[in-house]
């Protein structure tokens, strides 16, 4: 990244970023991260921060698009009902959809299985000037596939390559790709929405009790709860082995959706603030041309003289 963040903004947002950021320095233990953290806020204070961050994000997104140099990749991971969908919807409310694109990665198709595990994500990467949002991502290949090893058998890998080192190899491959992307102007922010098992249970019950939310529920969600401990272990390994300074993980307390959104929004805004984004400057020749066009437009409707002005501007 090209510069330090604006100091007042950095100071304001740091309490909602630093405690939850892990860049690979030191030890990482998922159990030491609380799921019900509120950061000393209540909902009213949180809403004010969320609203301010939406305005900042909208401003930064316009400059990111106009400058056309950087791209931003946001990766959202978490257990079912962790709040990924609603967080994306809330944080990006009001942001120009032309500059953002959301990809939700489901079970791989036949075409996708005929490629390497990163292929379908690589073809969905954001262009320069754009924000790409991955709702689940290539990290599923080190999470759900690890918890359910039978899936690995359907990925058409040569048998000799499926060894006990495959997860370490995938961590290395992912980190290498993320390092490559960072070196080419893609800012990568990864969010693990850390929800408790009890809060997930409450949200599942809510989905069952509200007809408008029934479509979100699946019996498979319940069977996955039985593998909760395995998923927690898999997430710990993923975060521990793929956190780097250029692609850090943010372990977001997700029991309170409003606080999770404060953390995520603040992290995104702070990262964009570091990029020294600005609208492209117009050179002298272009300004001179603009002056002629302006004069021609002002002269329109003034008869033959106006037509002559328009013609000379061309």
Task: State the pLDDT at residue 296.
Answer: 80
In whole angstroms, give the CA distance from residue 121 to residue 123: 6
pTM to 2 decimals? 0.89
The encoded tokens of residue 231 equal 């998923």
In whole angstroms, give the CA distance from residue 131 to residue 72: 5
Task: State the pLDDT at residue 213.
Answer: 73
| Regions of the chain where pLDDT drops below 50 | 1, 310
> What is the tens place of the pLDDT at every residue in 248-295?
999 999 999 999 999 999 999 999 999 999 999 877 666 667 777 778
Spatial neighbors of 241 by CB under 8 A, at least 6 apart, are 168, 171, 175
Of 78, 88, 74, 100, the residue nearest 190 (C-alpha): 74
Domains of the chain and any CATH numbers: 7-281 (3.40.50.300), 284-314 (no CATH)
Task: State the pLDDT at residue 311.
Answer: 59
Helix (H) or strand (E) holding 291: helix 284-299
In whole angstroms, give the CA distance from residue 131 to residue 265: 13
Contact 86, 258 (CB under 8 A): no
Contact 157, 42 (CB under 8 A): no
Residue 28 — left, alpha, or beta (φ > 0 → left; ψ -120 to 50 → alpha)?
Answer: beta
């Amino acid at each position: 990244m090209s510069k330090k963040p604006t100091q007042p903004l950095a100071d304001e947002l740091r309490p909602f970023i630093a405690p939850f950021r892990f860049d690979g320095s030191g030890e990482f233990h998922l159990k030491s991260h609380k799921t019900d953290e509120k950061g000393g806020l209540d909902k009213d204070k949180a809403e004010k921060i969320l609203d301010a961050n939406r305005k900042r994000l909208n401003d930064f997104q316009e400059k990111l698009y106009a400058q056309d140099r950087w791209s931003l990749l946001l990766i959202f991971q978490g257990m079912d009902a962790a709040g990924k969908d609603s967080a994306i919807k809330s944080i990006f409310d009001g942001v120009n959809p032309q500059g953002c694109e959301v990809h939700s990665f489901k079970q791989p198709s036949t075409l996708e299985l005929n490629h390497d595990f990163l292929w379908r994500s690589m073809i969905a990467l954001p262009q320069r000037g754009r924000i790409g949002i991955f709702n689940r991502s290539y990290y599923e290949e080190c999470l759900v596939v690890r918890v359910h090893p039978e899936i690995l058998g359907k990925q058409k890998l040569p048998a000799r390559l499926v060894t006990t080192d495959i997860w370490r190899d995938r961590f290395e491959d992912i980190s290498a790709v993320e390092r490559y992307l960072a070196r080419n102007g893609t800012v990568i922010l990864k969010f693990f929405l850390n929800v408790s098992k009890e809060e997930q249970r409450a949200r599942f019950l809510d989905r069952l009790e509200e007809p408008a939310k029934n479509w979100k529920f699946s019996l498979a969600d319940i069977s996955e709860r039985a593998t909760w401990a395995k998923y927690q272990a898999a997430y710990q390994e993923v975060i521990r082995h793929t956190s780097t300074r250029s692609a850090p993980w943010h372990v977001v307390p997700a029991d309170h959706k409003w606080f999770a959104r404060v953390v995520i929004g603040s992290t995104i805004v702070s990262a964009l603030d570091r990029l020294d984004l600005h609208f492209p400057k117009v050179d002298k020749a272009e300004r001179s041309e603009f002056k002629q066009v302006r004069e021609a437009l002002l002269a329109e409707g003034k008869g033959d003289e106006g037509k002559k002005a328009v013609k000379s501007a061309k």
